Structure 1
Amino acid sequence: MTSPLDPVAAQDRRETVFADVAIIGAGPVGLMIANYLGLQGVRVVLVEKLEQIIDYPRAIGLDDEALRVFQSVGLADALLPHTTPDHWMRFVTHAGHCFASIEPRTDEFGWSRRNAFIQPLADRVLFEGLRRFPHVEVWFDHSLTSFAQDQSGITIETEDAGGERRTIRASYMVGADGGNSFVRRLLNVPFEGRTKPNQWIVVDVRNDPIGSPHVYMHCDPKRPYVSAALPHGIRRFEFMVMPGETEEELSKPQNMAALIRKVVADPEKVDYIRKRVYTHNARLASTFRVDRVLLAGDAAHIMPVWQGQGYNSGIRDASNLGWKLAMVVKGLSDSALLDTYTAERRAHARSMIHLSEVAGDIFAPTSRFGIRFRDAFVRTFNLFPAVKRYFVEMRFKPMPRYETGVVLFAERKRKHGVLARVLERSGHSAPGRLLGLMSEKRESLLGRLVYGRDPLCLSPVGRMFIQPRVRTVDGRVVRLDDVLGNRFAIVGWGSDPTFGLSPLAREIWQRLGGCFVLAKPDTQLDFHDDVPDDVIAIGDVNSRLKDWFSRVSESVVLLRPDRFVAGMCTPQQISAQIGELAERLNLQPADRQADSAAAAASAITTAAVLRDSGFAVATGA
């Protein structure tokens, strides 16, 4: 028998690293999940096959929901210098006339709805954010070779560029390894959808040769192209690749000059970063979970670039999955909670794919009929102001609305009318996709005509809560999430949300780490007699919260850590709502949670001893 300090035994132990969660892929989604789990004290190993994070521009559009997720992990301020807020999208005819402009000016979630950004710099912010967490490791230059699941965890085999093998033993694994996901392929998860027949060449340049702000979609029937201003003097051009053209041919100096001459005076003075041809894909995994493996980002869904939603949809995945994984690995919730990830995210990802396809159909129709339909449609904008507002204010964008999962209302089936069935059958055509997209917003007039009036569409449950500016008791004016933090929250308007709370409900809320918030008119904030010690008081600076609560019938909202509304109730119903929420969360009994915490503490102690003895073993479950 070898002793604990035997060199041979030490070498064997050195081959296995333990963690709560292993993440495959250090793209933006993997990095964001690692940051969220790091904040929750979860032990993570992040595996990336490249030597470093990608340093060339890819995604260029960031929405308000994604910025709110950066805020949730404490990195929004570091990201903002690499963004351009209020980044409009303008559709231009071949003669230079702007016939449509998407200019959303609302900030209900605390940030500009459309922002340009530099993805490599955003990814760098996420990567540097991981330095805050000694319990998060990043392995560059390591490839996943295989994995095997069992009842207690998952064993992951990796290999670096030099052929050295390392094993990770984790409770769960996240496949965030891109559209060609090795994780998804090993799981044999279907990835269904379609690939557009036409290709585009992307050209990124420094020292912007045009300088005009915003994104311009030039609907040139001979060759549609895009010109997008980005931060730090970078501009992106995208040109449709015509039949018979290749990346090699288009990249030749004389051919590239011919393309760039459409938009700049002197192609010889353009400072190129990169040129790359890509194909638009629209694909969706059949499930985002297989036992202990979760899929996220492009590994779960890929979509055309026209609305810049690929990056943002991946960040939404990270926000939805992060808090659920943290609850499960900490022993707070049963693993069944992870089933709600697919239930909540997959339907919305499908809607965003649909949106991106519609935008592509409008910008670059593939037939003469499509061009005529597009032109006739946009001419209606000036005739029907409501239709124009629908597009200009970006109301067509499908917002996440969870009807199943961790939401507190009864599930139900929707009966579709005749028009709905017609739209479903015509969904393969450009007009069908456009009308289908408009009808998906079921609280709109067209949506009600198609699907009938659905009372739950008017409910805030399952939707993201607003994020106004609020005042704290020490006089600071901040965004709401900066007060709430990454935790459950009960926000009551005008009265103490803890009055009459049952002891069991209070105990459950404490186990969840939730907070109680009393929102009141800003003028009343200096009066403290109505605020118990365990309640956070905030002042409604611009009356945004009062306006929101005035449109609903209840005065108390239960918020999830990702700031979605889990439930609404009156003050006397809070205890019952907490109990129902505990059921939806598959909350573990207190004694079982204590056992899980003791096991985790034992693992930390054991790993620390091994580390002090010279063994390269990370802490883990």
Structure 2
Amino acid sequence: MSAADYQVVIVGAGPTGLMLSNLLGRYGVRTLIIERLHELIDYPRAIGIDDEALRSMQAVDLVDKVLPHTVPHHMVRAVNSQGRVIAEMAPQTDEFGWSRRNGFIQPLVDRVLLAGLDRFPHVEVRLGHELLKIEQTSEQVACTIQDVGSGQVTRVTAEYMVGAEGGRSFTREWLGANFEGVTLPDRCLVVDVADDPLGTPNAIFGADPVRSWATFGLPHGIRRWEFMLGDDEDNELAESDAFVRGLLTDHVRSPERLNIIRRRVYTHNARIASAFRRGRVFIAGDAAHVMPVNAGQGWNSCIRDAVNLGWKLAAVLNGTSSAALLDTYEVERRDHVRGMVELSVGMGKAFASRGRLREVARTVVGTAVEYLPPVKRYVASMRFKPMPSYTRGAVVTTEIHRSKSILPAHGVNRSAGRLFIQPKVSAPDGAVKLLDDVIGLRWAVLAWNNDPRRLLSEKSVEALERLGAAFVQAVPEVQREWTAANASDGVTVIGDALGRVKKWFDDKPYSVLFLRPDRVIAAECLAVEADRTTEKLLDAISYLA
């Protein structure tokens, strides 16, 4: 079998394909990305980017170019038909280094991701090319693609292929996967306006029993309105000038003067593919799952898919893990995606459903939330949002050895399979930076107080070095310079500049973490168990010695 033209072919230059291409570009993987359209879609679509996604933009060195197109701390208030606030989501925490909820303009961020590929000579982009056929052998995938303009047909080969071409995915059909779920009965009219006539910075959900609505203040003078449609209001009527401006009459004076840049009727789907993989071919993003817009997690879930699959493809292609590691992609992503779909459907039922009984229920619940501070904090901080939490896959979840020197209550406070925080720390040169900027896009062994190399055998160190792991010792800032002067060669000493690293470890029954490139905690242990835990970790990621 001759060598493949590319290591990975990606179909679809939406957020999933663009993010995955940037990750593979950073890992040095020869990649081809094709897109049927000649240009990226240029109208606003998704409008919410979360802290996890911004952390991913940071991982590919593009966050500084993304941030100008965002509104940090994008507050959301839900009001009833009398204008009374019945719920408020205003999370102020930044445990992952960024604002938890942000408004954004998707086309501008997608363009940043596309432009980011110019950095990588080993990543090729072909816009205006469509996938026609997929053929697979035990060693390669062959893709027949057509230049949409000229009609010229070519055939390229790759070691792996990822279909990220959206909800009508050709690749998903080729997999033979069912798109399981439902199309929800309610339809929604989306109206985007330039030169924002209100200018307020946040978002409001109007839980009106007659017609629910929402409005969002977005970057660069863009405002969005969304209106629920009745069964007797067809798409042609809903998109007409008279109907649109009639809906806007209650929201803004002189709606006929608005600069409307887009109007479109949407149906909402809640679906997950029955399979994410067939041999060397994968699906990701909207090709694998779609969800209603209510929770603002569709675009963000696409980014999570790309990040989860990206480091695993790179590990297999560079020879540090066997292809069995790729089985963990679907294992890890499916349950989390299901949680996001259920959250999106649930929020739609809570705030966008019609009827007087629903209105009464919302008012009662809103009153309870207002007068029960713990519930109010729970809602305001969006703790209901499902976080990635893997109990299977590329993680080690064996029981931690119990020690009398560890408080018994700590035995249940596990973190393997969850994202590690990203506080600001002092780098070796004393500069205060976000943790990921110090560690880089790679594996890391992070130990509180201890020198991680001194905890590990020579064999374990060699294996972790082959993975490209960083060895990181975290200490109180007052100890940083002394510790750095006495650390082993190859150990990065960071100072706990704000005390947040220690605070995180305060309530944990372990002191050593093994962090994946996507910053999921792959394994955790006490210092004395570091060597044994390394062995379990290498097995969990299908390490090739």
- TM-score category (smaller protein): over 0.9
- Write the distance in 2 (CA, Å) between the matches of 1:86 and 1:383: 24
Amino acid at match of 2:508: V
Question: Aligned partners of 2:4, 2:414: CA distance in 1, in Å?
Answer: 46
2:144 corresponds to 1:157: yes
Once the two structures are TM-superposed, the CA of residue 41 in structure 1 deviates from its matched residue by 0.3
Query: Contact 1:148–1:154 at 8 Å: present in 2 too?
Result: yes
Counterpart CA distance in 1 for 2:249 and 2:355 is 26
2:478 corresponds to: 523
User: How far apart, in 1, do the equivalents of 2:243 and 2:410 lie?
Assistant: 57
- Rounded to whole Å, the distance in 1 between the matches of 2:258 and 2:357 is 37
Partner of 1:490: 445
Q: Residues of 1 paired with 2:244 and 2:140: CA distance?
A: 52
Aligned to 1:553: 509
Q: From 416, 437, 453, give the equivalent of 1:461.
A: 416
Q: Is residue 80–residue 363 contact of structure 2 (8 Å, CA) maintained in 1?
A: no
Aligned partner of 1:514 in structure 2 is: 469
Listed as ranges, the matches of 1:102-501 within 5 Å are 102-161=89-148, 162-410=150-398, 458-501=413-456
Q: In structure 1, the residue corresponding to 2:138 is in which secondary structure?
A: coil
Q: Per the alignment, do residues 455 and 571 of structure 1 end up closer, same or farther by CA in structure 2, a change over 3 Å counting?
A: closer
Assess if the C-alpha contact under 8 Å between 1:203 and 1:237 holds in 2. yes
SS in 2 for 1:382: helix
The answer for the alignment partner of 1:598 in structure 2 is none
Q: Which amino acid aligns with 2:84?
A: H
Matched, 1:562 2:518: yes
Task: Report the AA paired with residue 545 of structure 1.
Answer: V
**Does the residue aligned with 1:226 lie in a helix, a strand or coil?**
strand
Cα 1:455/1:247, change in 2 over 3 Å: farther
Alignment partner of 1:54 out of 41, 49, 68: 41
In structure 2, distance between residues paired with 1:96 and 1:569: 51
The CA distance in 2 between the partners of 1:455 and 1:407, in whole Å, is 20
In the TM superposition, what is the alpha-carbon distance from 1:303 to its structure 2 partner? 0.4
Q: Distance in 1 between matches of 2:30 and 2:104?
A: 30
How far 1:500 sits from its partner (Å)?
4.1
Correspondence 1:19 to 2:6: yes
What is aligned with 1:541? 497
CA distance in 2, matches of 1:174, 1:520: 42
The equivalent residue for 1:595 is none
Do the aligned partners of 2:209 and 2:355 also contact (CA within 8 Å) in 1?
no
**Following TM superposition, by how much is the alpha carbon of 1:532 offset from its aligned partner in structure 2, in angstroms?**
1.5
Q: Map residues 570-589 of structure 1 onto 2, 5 A cutoff.
A: 570-589=526-545
CA contact (8 A) 2:86 2:363 kept: no
- For the 8 Å contact 2:80–2:362, the answer to whether it is kept is no
Runs of 4+ aligned structure 1 residues displaced above 6 Å come to 454-457
Q: Distance in 2 between matches of 1:28 and 1:246?
A: 31
Structure 1 match to 2:86 = 99
Distance 1:106 1:329 in 2: 37
Aligned-partner Cα distance in 1 for 2:397–2:240: 59
Deviation at 1:212, TM superposition (A): 1.2
Matched, 1:88 2:88: no
Shift of 1:93: 1.7
1:472-508 CA-to-partner distances (Å, cap 9, x unmatched) read 1212110000011111100111121111421210110
Superposed displacement of residue 366, structure 1: 4.2
Percent identity of equivalent pairs: 47
Distance 1:455 1:376 in 2: 37
**Equivalence for 1:42:** 29
Given that residues 33 and 318 in structure 1 are in contact (C-alpha distance below 8 angstroms), is that contact kept between their aligned partners in structure 2?
A: yes
SS in 1 for 2:165: coil
> What TM-score do you get using the length of structure 1 for normalisation?
0.84
1:513-537 deviation digits (Å, cap 9, x = unpaired)? 0010010111111213331221001
Code of the residue aligned with 1:304 in structure 2: it is P
Note the C-alpha offset of 1:457. Answer: 6.6
CA 1:19 to 1:455, structure 2 compared with 1: closer, same or farther past 3 Å?
Answer: farther
Distance between the aligned counterparts of 1:585 and 1:100, measured in 2? 43
Deviation larger for 523-532 or 322-331: 523-532
- Alpha-carbon distance in 2 for matches of 1:577, 1:169: 39
Separation (CA, whole Å) in 1 of partners of 2:302 and 2:131: 21
Of stretches 251-260 and 291-300 in structure 1, the one that deviates more from structure 2 is 251-260
Shift of 1:17: 7.5
Conservation of the 8 A alpha-carbon contact between 1:297 and 1:317: yes
CA–CA separation in structure 2 for the residues paired with 1:455 and 1:350:
29
Q: Give the CA deviation at 1:302.
A: 0.5
Whole-Å separation in 1 of the counterparts to 2:357 and 2:388: 33
Shift of the 265–456 alpha-carbon distance from structure 1 to 2, 3 Å rule, reads farther
- Any idea what SS the aligned residue of 2:452 has? coil
- Distance in 1 between residues matched to 2:330 and 2:468, nearest whole Å: 25
Summarize deviations over 1:31-53 as a string: whole Å, max 9, x none: 00000000000000001000111
Note the C-alpha offset of 1:185: 1.1
Q: Which amino acid aligns with 1:490?
A: V
Give the Å deviation of 1:105. Answer: 0.7
**d(CA) in 2 for partners of 1:60 and 1:29?**
16
How far the C-alpha of 1:301 sits from its partner, in A, is 0.7
- The verdict on how the C-alpha distance between 1:17 and 1:248 changes in structure 2, with shifts beyond 3 A counting, is farther
Deviates more, 1:487-496 or 1:567-576: 567-576
Give the 3 Å change call, closer, same or farther, for CA 456–178 of structure 1 in structure 2.
farther
* C-alpha distance in structure 2 between counterparts of 1:469 and 1:94, whole Å: 43
Shift of 1:291: 1.0
SS in 2 for 1:210: coil
Assess, with a 3 A threshold, how the Cα gap between structure 1 residues 73 and 26 changes in structure 2: closer, same or farther.
same
CA distance in structure 2 between the partners assigned to 1:95 and 1:367 by the alignment = 15
Aligned partners of 1:464, 1:163: CA distance in 2, in Å? 46
How far the C-alpha of 1:375 sits from its partner, in A, is 2.8
Contact 2:389 2:418 in 1 (8 A): yes
Partner in structure 1 of residue 63 of structure 2: 76
Q: 1:455: Cα distance to partner?
A: 8.9
The C-alpha deviation readout for 1:520-573, integer Å capped at 9, x for no partner, is 111111213331221001110110000011110111111000001011112222
AA partner of residue 229 (structure 1): G
| Structure 1 residues without counterparts, runs of 5 or longer | 1-12, 412-453, 590-621
Alpha-carbon distance in structure 1 between the residues aligned to 2:252 and 2:503: 48
Shift of 1:256: 1.6
2: CA distance, partners of 1:370 / 1:292: 48
Runs (5+) with no aligned partner, structure 2: 400-408
Q: TM-score with structure 2 length normalisation?
A: 0.95
In structure 2, C-alpha distance between the alignment counterparts of 1:61 and 1:500, rounded to whole Å: 43
- Tell me by how many angstroms 1:368 deviates: 4.4
